[in-house]
Amino acid sequence: MEEYLYHYTSIETLLLILKNKTLAFNSLQNVDDLEECDSKDIQQIGKICYVSCWTDDASESIPMWNMYTPNMQGVRIKLKKFPFEKYKFKCGEYHFKEDTETYIDYEKLYKEDKTTIAGEPQLIKVTYTNDEELIYPKIKTIKEEIQKLNDGKIQRTASTNYSLKNLGRYKRKNWEFQNEVRYIINMSLWSMKELENCKSYDDQLKLIERIEDNKYKAPYNLFFLNLTNEALNHLEILLGPKITEVQEEIIKLIVEKYCPSAKVSKSSLKIK
């Protein structure tokens, strides 16, 4: 995977990225490929999988300009991989078992009281396939255990496990033109505070049952990670092939105000 990644977007989104110094992650519930949200066994499970979609292909893509910038009048931004701010937490804070450095602001996450996040954002290269088992991965596994008691009786117990590891990683070959690389953050449908307030195993089960309950909405419409000043200092912006003179001036004003070190250049494509 290349050191730099590329993202096609609108002028309005460019403004928000530079003004707020953040990058948005969208639920699979809201991406353009509707198949991504469902698994083999749980409908709409993708609502708790959040992605930020990029490509590592440095050459200009006409389909990408056409799909993700209005009338090819948007921009393509270039950033280093993992351009996110890091946060440090001590052992014991927010249940960390050791001193931890992370891209997730757990203090903010705890105060918002919407979800929990286990692990760091992952950067993966999308695999394109027509294998239905991969496109619709199995999320739920039931493990049955048989135990012989002291009185000779047999006791059967069952435990249910959920794995989100294959969500957001596979798309049909029809999408292969995207050459997509994406950041993935998996979330839960319960908050850290809710988990802390569980008094028993049954209380925990009630939270876990939300996974298969469609009435529970995604924790966020959009989830944001903060960008470092160092990453923004090396930002490059490529203007869409149909950018007008007025739009070009607007982009220059945005850059001058919010990210004056960014490099702005014009598309090499000549499209009527």
For 123-159, what is each residue's pLDDT tens digit?
Answer: 999 999 999 999 999 999 988 777 777 776 776 666 7
- pLDDT the model gives residue 145: 75
93-123 pLDDT, tens per residue? 998 999 999 999 999 999 999 999 988 999 9
- pLDDT the model gives residue 106: 96
DSSP E strands in the chain: the ranges are 4-9, 22-27, 49-55, 75-80, 87-89, 100-102, 122-125, 127-128, 140-148, 154-162, 170-171, 180-186, 222-226, 236-239, 263-266
Is residue 1 predicted with pLDDT exceeding 70? no
- pLDDT the model gives residue 215: 87
Q: Place 228 in a pLDDT band, splitting at 50, 70 and 90.
A: very high
Query: First and final CA of the chain: distance in angstroms?
Result: 33
29-81 pLDDT, tens per residue? 999 999 999 999 999 999 999 999 999 999 999 999 999 999 999 999 999 99
> Which percentage of the chain shows pLDDT scores above 70?
97
Q: Place 181 in a pLDDT band, splitting at 50, 70 and 90.
A: very high
DSSP H helices in the chain: 11-20, 62-68, 106-112, 132-135, 192-196, 201-208, 229-233, 245-258
- The more confidently predicted of residues 187 and 145 is 187
33-45 pLDDT, tens per residue? 999 999 999 999 9
